[in-house]
Amino acid sequence: MSLFTGTTSYYRQFRPGIPEDVAAVLDRAASVRNDGPRRLLDVGTGTGLVAEALVGRFGDIIAVDNDADMLAAAELALRPKLPEGSSLLLVQSTAEDFSPPAGWQAELVTICRAFHWLDQAAVLALLDGQVAPDGVVAIFGDNSFWVAGSPWKEAVRDVVKSFLGEERRAGTGTFQHHNRPYSEIMEESPFDEVEEVRVPVQRIWSAESILGYLYSTSFAAPHLFGDRLKEFEAAVKNRLTDFSDNDTFPEENEFLIRLGRRGRK
């Protein structure tokens, strides 16, 4: 069973997309080709949120994920938005097993909200052969609800814990935390020249979208609750009434983008 079994429809509908300000940072970071369209490799694409934000900026896109349901959702979302003359290839594979077509190298590799699931050093080493000489690897994401950061998110996380236990779930197991900063890991890779960019983001949530987001995650996927799902929904909604009387829950978040390039050592 995938870590994200049963989450695809929630993921596509309720996971926040990639803000324009983040897409602009990624666009500027990648070099321009004179002999054809720029190439994007999106690793752990999920339902295609990153590729969707960069369609039109990159004319040759490969999006990789190991979950067939996620890729099917990405296909439905992305194909109609593809500009004429652009190329999109969706590949079902792990990052560790993926190989691009012969001679294909990306100006930009994106890994969004997915690096914690990967064999990080191994993937970065593999990317050395998949990235153009002046290409860049972007590892980025915003904070999940599990990280909390506001009273209402802490309360929601407490409800999740009351149903599923204190440890963060990851499918049928528990999440194995990575304590080292991603920039430090990148500095030990071929992409050892690392720049960090922070992009603040503000969002407004409702009880429905909060539950939808939770159901898109590996730590609160619907199947984890069994026959207590409706009970969980009621508990979350009841707890949220302590923080709003009009079903409005503001969030202050940020995307931390690490841009890794090959150094000149």
Least confident of 21-30, 151-160, 164-173, 256-265: 164-173
Token digits of residue 252: 């202050």
What integer is the mean pLDDT of 195-206? 97
In the predicted model, is pLDDT for residue 35 greater than 90? no
In the predicted model, is pLDDT for residue 31 greater than 80? yes
Express each pLDDT in 204-250 by its tens digit.
Answer: 999 999 999 999 998 999 999 999 999 999 999 999 999 999 999 99
Least confident of 155-159, 166-170, 194-198, 253-257: 166-170
Query: Where do runs of H (alpha helix) occur along the chain?
Result: 8-14, 20-29, 49-54, 68-78, 120-127, 151-164, 182-187, 207-215, 229-240
Query: Where do runs of H (alpha helix) occur along 105-150?
Result: 120-127
Tracing tokens 């960019």 back to the chain, one arrives at 197
Q: Give SS3 for 171.
A: coil
In the predicted model, is pLDDT for residue 171 greater than 70? no
Domain 7-261, CATH among 1.25.10.10, 3.40.50.150, 3.40.718.10, 1.10.10.60: 3.40.50.150
What's the CA gap between 81 and 68, in Å, rounded?
20
AA letter at 60:
D
Residue 3's pLDDT is 59
AA letter at 190:
P
CB contact at 8 A, 70 and 45: yes
